[in-house]
Structure 1
Amino acid sequence: MTPPRRSGGAGRRHRARKARGASAVGRRFEVEVGPIAHGGHCVARVSTGAAAESLVVFVRHALPGEQVVVEVTEGTEGDKFWRGDAVEVIRPSPDRVAAPCAFAGPGRCGGCDFQHVELAAQRRLKAAVVREQLRRLAGLDVDLEVEHVPNPLVEVVAQQPSPDQGLRWRTRQRYLTLPDGRRGMRKHRSHDVIAVDECLLEAPRGPSYDVRGRSFEVADRGFWQVHPGAPETLVDAVLEALRPQPGESALDLYAGVGLFSRFLLEAVGPEGRVAAVEGDPTASALSERNCPRLQATAGDVAAVLREGLDPVWDAADLVVLDPPRAGAKRGVVEQVVARSPRAVAYVACDPAALARDVAIFAENGYSLSTLRAFDLFPMTHHVECVALLEKRR
């Protein structure tokens, strides 16, 4: 799965929208903050004086129920919504805390969304977003908690149990270089770079490629989960959901270097079989080295499912889906259900894409049986989910 882009890093910037009217940037309003929304901001409404109806502003650095002064950071007259920062807190939420990082906050580094939020409350907000997306896009009401994932690297370095602080989990970190040689990170939705002495999310050392006592080979810049507890947590969740049996067949889609394939092969045994499909040729080649007996194919997942697999894979007992943030989408989902698996484990880092695809599965006779969510990206709005979809009887 493609890791979430951090606004504070060196990733691709957003595309500027065409202005509809005079700029609203810099205008300030006192508002009562509404519910959390997908993307790391809350919903508020302001009266602009231009019309009888109020206008939605997506506010960062705020919490539901707070009274704040919001400063517009993006928007023009005639837009359907604006974006803004809470630059003054008049009535704080009991869940508000002082940000541990000196570079977090309005106008500063854009890498974190929730440093002003107590850690347990961050997880409640993420759970609310997942529930809202499934309700809105899939018509489902789910009971969900976002689970804490231990960070073994922090405890190893400290040589003692460490309290959960939501820091030091990012085993791969990118900085920009300022003209004077200092390190920097971008502001939120901006090309502007600010100097950053230290990122508190950066782990004390790089990733380990050992999972459940098995070693994996990964390319220097190839994908691997950035939270040190993520690979084992996700493998455990997928295997618990699917309960693969000896002799079964399994498809691992968007397979990367074979993280799930390795353990699926062990579970189905010598009488079973596993095929992996991955878009990156280097990762696909490494998956064959990491997973003896794996049938690996490099290529676009939808195209390979449509025409690139041996006919023996026209049916499969199990499927693992671990797509990038955009999700699997209809073409892949329909190719999956055409193979009539008894169970599908869907690993998702975007709740909106997951909810959309769950709805497509439902159209094709598959129901959401279980859903778990994991806090693999503390201090940010990102959350990882593992959904089990099973054929309706």
Structure 2
Amino acid sequence: MEAIVDIERYADQGRCVAHIDGRVVFVRFALPGERVRIALDEPTDRNDRFWTGEVIEVLEASPDRVEPSWPLAGPLAMGGGVGGADLIHVSLEGQERWKEAAIKDVMARLGHVDLDDIPVYAMPGDEEAQGLHWRTRIEMITDDEGRPSMHRRGSHDRVPIDTMPLATRAVLEAAAMHDVWEGGALPANAQVRIAVPEPRVDAADIADTDALRRAIGRNHAVIVDGKVRHGSRNLTERIEVDGRAFTYTVDAGGFWQMHREAPQVLPQYVIDEIRGALGGRTPRNGRNLVIWDLYSGSGLFTLPLATLIDDHAKLVSVEGAKTAVANARRNLKAAGIHTVQALCGDVLRTLKHDIDPQRAHPDIVVLDPPRAGAKANVCDLIADSGAPIVVYIACDPASLARDTATLTKRGYALHSIAAFDIYPMTHHVETVAVFTK
């Protein structure tokens, strides 16, 4: 079934809202203010509360519309459908407006906080790269002939690909080093992950292929069905915060901030915001500063927090993934940091039962939970701790909004909020909110 509709506003998941005979329709690859012809997803039940559909023709275009730089990720009717870049039809400036609007909407609806403006920061180099070449990790499947591919939306079809425009130059080069794009280089029907830390060198030093390959070396991984086929399981990530270098060992199959610049930009922002929120404040009862770093992974925030806020601070990190905790401990030891209690376990249970009494009342809590958020029980426990400053790093605005509602009910005020466009060409956005008691 096809229909011509007027697009009204942004919605979630990279979609926009239209109406057909009073019924809400969520439309992919649309923009507010446009008139478009859409194909409704089948089956369409007349009793459904809402319908979904996709643009097949643009009749009146928004000024924010651009030609998709990766057509395979565009609408099905225009030869696309592989997914992974649901805002590929939107200019970079339009993407920032979209993400600001999405955060403001969900914070009002779920967080009960009305916001006038939210800064959305682009990552260094993204404008020059036109929103491409930012992913240091990519995942694919292989088809029956061992060719890398992606599923076409709404089907089991696998579309062979011979490049990945969102991947960094280093990822693409590592794939080429091992003939990943060649059919038969990989087993059929396999899950493939390629992870390559961004070389922290001047662009001029990796301008040619040989120089880039030397910079990559063995610091990369091609993982097939969970096993490292090429490269190394343990990767080395390097960042710089406040002019200080930090080095991390991370699991090639585990979590690390995906954008090539996010591991530097986010810790720097968090450190700056904490300093501003402290405003010269001294720890309670004259003791050393106490910091909690929750959902701490391999220690991305832990190392800067332990060295740049207060050398004498007592810091607790909590993470549920055993491999990540082992790497965090290794990273702390390698950095000569001995003031951190790095705990492994469920965050809620660990905070209830395993915290050293001398670290049970934090001055600062930093949390970077998974997409589902920290949830009410953890937020209540943070509030019970009496922490004056809470810094919440969120990869999902809806989860942040729900947890904002819990924190504000418990006496916290939203001190600042900013968004970081570390997922260009997608509807995803990273948000950092600072709460004060």
TM-score range, shorter chain: 0.7 to 0.9
Q: Which residue matches 1:179? A: 144
* Aligned AA (1:119): L
Q: Which residue matches 2:158? A: 193
1:386 is the counterpart of 2:413: no
8 A contact 2:315–2:359 mirrored in 1: no
1:35 is the counterpart of 2:9: yes
Higher relative contact order (CA 8 A, sep 6+): 1
8 A contact 1:111–1:188 mirrored in 2: no
Q: Which residue matches 1:267? A: 308
Q: Which residue matches 2:100? A: 127
* Aligned AA (2:58): V
How far 1:211 moved relative to its partner?
1.1
Q: Which residue matches 1:352? A: 398
Q: Which residue matches 1:6? A: none
Out of 45, 64, 67, the residue aligned to residue 32 of structure 2 is 64
Equivalent residue pairs, number = 350
1:252 is the counterpart of 2:293: yes
Secondary structure at 1:175 match in 2: strand
Q: Which residue matches 2:260? A: 228
Q: Which residue matches 2:187? A: none
Q: Which residue matches 1:78? A: 47
1:96 is the counterpart of 2:65: yes
Query: What's the TM-score once normalised by structure 1's chain length?
Result: 0.86
Q: Could you give the per-residue CA deviations for residues 135-159 of structure 1, whole angstroms, max 9, x where no partner exists?
A: 11122122113111114xx8xxxxx
Gaps spanning 5+ residues in structure 2: where?
Answer: 171-195, 199-236, 283-287
Q: Which residue matches 1:19? A: none
How far 1:270 moved relative to its partner?
4.0
Q: Which residue matches 2:121? A: 147
1:55 is the counterpart of 2:23: yes
Between the aligned partners of 1:189 and 1:231, the Cα distance in structure 2 is: 34
Q: Could you give the per-residue CA deviations for residues 254-294 of structure 1, whole angstroms, max 9, x where no partner exists?
A: 00011111011103444211110001011011111112222
How far 1:128 moved relative to its partner?
0.3
1:219 is the counterpart of 2:261: no
How far 1:114 moved relative to its partner?
0.8
Q: Which stretch of structure 1 is more off in the superposition, 267-276 or 33-42?
A: 267-276
Between the aligned partners of 1:318 and 1:211, the Cα distance in structure 2 is: 23
Between the aligned partners of 1:271 and 1:147, the Cα distance in structure 2 is: 32
Q: Could you give the per-residue CA deviations for residues 102-152 of structure 1, whole angstroms, max 9, x where no partner exists?
A: 31222221111111111111110010000001111122122113111114x
Q: Could you give the per-residue CA deviations for residues 5-36 of structure 1, whole angstroms, max 9, x where no partner exists?
A: xxxxxxxxxxxxxxxxxxxxxx1111001111
1:109 is the counterpart of 2:78: no
Name the CA shift for 1:164/1:177 in 2 (closer, same or farther; >3 Å).
Answer: closer
Out of 238, 243, 252, the residue aligned to residue 210 of structure 1 is 238
Q: Which residue matches 1:314? A: 360
8 A contact 2:368–2:394 mirrored in 1: yes
Q: RMSD between aligned alpha carbons?
A: 1.6
Between the aligned partners of 2:347 and 2:154, the Cα distance in structure 1 is: 31
How far 1:241 moved relative to its partner?
1.3
